[in-house]
Amino acid sequence: MRKAFIQELTKLAAEDKRIMLLTADLGFTVVESFAERHPDRFINAGVAEQNMVGVATGLAASGFIPFLYATVAFAALRAYEFIRNGPVLHKLPVRIIGIGEGFDYGYAGVTHFGLEDIGVMRIQEGMAVVVPADIAQAVNALKKTWDMPGPVYYRIGKTDGEDIGNLKGRFKSGSIECIDKGSDCLFVCMGGIAAEALAAAQKLKARGIGSRVVIVSGFNPSPARELAAVLKKFPFVITVEEHFTTGGLGSFVAEIIAENKIPCRLIRRGISDFSNERLGDKLFMNKKYKLTADDFVKTALQAIKTMRNGL
């Protein structure tokens, strides 16, 4: 996903001279296309994320639109207070590209995992958060958000991931996208893991269970109203995210359910009881934390059984 995103950014930068790309010495084989085409607007800021955000804030205050490239944890967390007191507080068009959803970095280990970035970013009012589910949506979301007046945080997959066929790249700020129109089971997902929820929906369909898969691809503006309307139609919802179950999408849905008194039981699937002792690639890690289509099928069947028993 990241290569396509930077390629699109490279194209946009040819049309708008305000666009810059800064990297915290990351993005080998990814950022070169931009660097070669726009060398005067590409800066490797070194391994210094706080300064990169601070410099970008000054650049944005002076008329530029700087995009900052770094691994999720470094982009979102190391420089978090600079983001809060910089582009958020000053309402400036700094764009932070956090690379790596959940366990994208696999063997690189816990320091590189993207586990809590959405939680910390979505609570900053004025920070638009964009979480594309596949390449086509990432490219379209960039086209629709690059010139917003305030700051934007993009969570971009390190790997290409699978295409969400029926999504066809649709993206609208503050909106949700519904895929499949089943009425027995509701999945609300965020990011590339939506592909697994869709696969689970296919497997459930073979058993005669219809699922609705809703993709949330951004916060601020909030998609709460549209989401509430869907939640009202289902007795339970399974939220799916490559993120801690606290703070991200699962918590967001909990807030909507509670605030709107919606009689919908919430089952959050994400990363919890995290332990960094045993490592593997993304698939191994997602299996370990029960983030596969088969796990979601089991969760859905269990929920349906529980509901039928009136528990």
Partner 1 sequence: MKQSKKANVGHIGCALSVADIIAALYGSVLRIKNPEDEKRDRFILSKGHAALALYAALFLRRWLDEEEINSYCSDDTSLGVHPVHTLRGVDFSSGSLGHGLSFGAGCALAAKMKKQSYRTFVLISDAELNEGSVWEAVMFASHHKLSNLIVVVDLNGQQATGYTKEVLDLNPLNEKFKAFGWDTHIVNGHDVELIADTADNLDLKNGRPHVIIAKTVFGKGVSFMENKIKWHYWPMSDAEYKSALREIRQA
Positions in the binding site for partner 1 (CB under 8 A)? 40-41, 43, 45-46, 48, 50-51, 53-64, 81-82, 85-86, 89-90
Shortest distance, position 91 Cβ to partner 1, whole Å: 9
Spell out the residues 6+ positions from residue 277 whose beta carbon is closer than 8 angstroms to its own: none
- Is 164 within 8 Å of 201 (Cβ atoms)? no
Q: Which is nearer to partner 1, 89 or 229 (CB)?
A: 89
- Alpha-carbon dihedral 49, 55, 60, 62, rounded to 10 degrees: 180
d(CA 124, CA 109): 27
For residues 116 and 98, the answer to whether their CB atoms sit within 8 Å is no
Secondary structure (DSSP) of 254-267: HHHHHHTT---EEE
Cα–Cα dist 187/203, whole Å: 13
Least CB distance to partner 1 at residue 64 (A) = 6
Pick 48 or 123: Cβ nearer partner 1: 48
Q: Which is nearer to partner 1, 14 or 89 (CB)?
A: 89
What is the C-alpha separation between 170 and 74, in angstroms, rounded?
A: 29
Task: Output 67 or 234, the one with its CB closest to partner 1.
Answer: 67
The CB-of-302 to partner 1 minimum distance in angstroms stands at 48
Cα–Cα distance for residue pair 164/302, rounded to 1 Å: 26
Q: Cβ of residue 173: shortest distance to partner 1, in angstroms?
A: 25
Determine the 3-state secondary structure of 270 from DSSP: strand
SS3 label, residue 152: strand
The CB-of-146 to partner 1 minimum distance in angstroms stands at: 19
Rg (CA), the chain: 19
- At 123, is the secondary structure helix, strand, or coil? coil
Minimum Å gap between C-beta 56 and partner 1 is 6
Distance between CA atoms of 111 and 20, rounded to whole angstroms? 27
Kindly tell me the sign of the dihedral angle through the C-alpha atoms of 254, 135, 113, 196.
positive
Q: Which is nearer to partner 1, 17 or 232 (CB)?
A: 17
Q: How far is the CB of 16 from partner 1 (least distance, A)?
A: 14
Q: Which is nearer to partner 1, 71 or 137 (CB)?
A: 71
- Least distance CB 115 / partner 1 (angstroms): 24
* Closest to partner 1 by CB, 66 or 270: 66
Contacts with 23 (C-beta within 8 Å, 6 or more apart), sequence order: 31, 43, 44, 45, 68, 69, 70
Which CB atom, from 64 or from 284, has the smaller least distance to partner 1?
Answer: 64
